[in-house]
Amino acid sequence: IITGIVVAIPALFMNLTEVTDLASIGTLFAFVVVCAGVLFKDKEFNESGTRFVPYVNAQYILPLILIVVGAALFYFYPDALTDLMTVAAKEGESWLGAFSHKIPLIVFLILTAVMTVLSLIKKLSLIPVLGVLSCGYLMTELGITNWLRFGVWMLVGLAIYLLYGYRHSKLHNREAAGQI
C-alpha cells in the first residue's frame, strides 16, 4: 500500500507519457537484471544437475546476429554511422545537450561489444544475452530525461533500502542471531 501511494502521488503531477516511460524503463531494467542473473547463476544450475536450463551457445550465433543486424541497418539507413558520430544541436540547444541524447545509445553499443566478447570467451547462453541486449536497446530509445529520472528514483530506492531495509530485514536478523 505504501509503495502504491509513493508511486501514485508523483503520477498525479506528471504527464501520462512520462509515467508510462518511467514504468517502461523500470520494467525493462528488471528484465535486464533477471537476464544478467541467469547468466551468472547458469553455472550453479549446471553443476547441481537438479534443474534443466536451456542452453544455446552464443559464441558463434551472437556475432552472426550482430553482423546481420548491422548490415541491415546500413542497407536500410546508410547514414546511421554519420548520425551517430555527428552532434547537431537544435536551435536554442547547447552542444552538450545534444550530445547527452546520444549517451544511452553509446552505452548500449559498449554493452553490446562487452557482451559479444564475453560470449566468445565464456561461451554464454544466447537466450539471456539476447534478453539483455534487446531490453537494453529498448531502454536506450526512452531518452536521456527518462534515464535521469530513473537514476534519481533508483538512488531514492537504494537510500531507503540501505538506511532502513537492510537493518530491519528478517534474513539479516536471523543471520545476526546465528540461526542460519
- Give residue-wise pLDDT tens across range 1-18: 787 887 788 778 888 888
> pLDDT: is 129 or 168 the higher one?
129
End-to-end Cα distance, the chain: 30
- The closest of 28, 16, 34, 3 to 141, measured between CA atoms, is 28
138 pLDDT above the threshold of 80: yes
136 pLDDT above the threshold of 90: yes
- The closest of 164, 55, 67 to 116, measured between CA atoms, is 67
Integer-rounded Cα Rg, in Å, for the chain is 21
Confidence band, pLDDT 50/70/90 cuts, at residue 49? low
Task: Report how far residue 94's alpha carbon sits from residue 96's, in angstroms, rounded to the nearest whole number.
Answer: 5
Q: Is residue 148 part of a domain?
A: no
Q: Is residue 174 part of a domain?
A: no
Q: Are 42 and 127 in contact (CB under 8 A)?
A: no
Number of domains in the chain: 1
Confidence band, pLDDT 50/70/90 cuts, at residue 133? very high
Q: Is residue 44 part of a domain?
A: yes
70 pLDDT above the threshold of 80: yes
Apex 11 CA angle, 34 and 27, nearest 5: 10
> pLDDT: is 125 or 42 the higher one?
125
Would you state the pLDDT for residue 8?
82
Q: Is residue 168 part of a domain?
A: no
Identity at 18, one-letter amino acid code: E
Mean pLDDT of the 67-75 span: 92
Crossing angle for the helix pair 103-122 and 58-76, to the nearest 10 degrees: 150
Task: Report how far residue 118's alpha carbon sits from residue 42's, in angstroms, rounded to the nearest whole number.
Answer: 14
DSSP structural state of residue 50: S
Q: Is residue 35 part of a domain?
A: yes
Q: Are 61 and 133 in contact (CB under 8 A)?
A: no
Q: Is residue 57 part of a domain?
A: yes
**Domain span at residue 39?**
2-143
C-alpha cell at position 168: 530491519
Q: Which residue has the cell 552538450?
A: 96
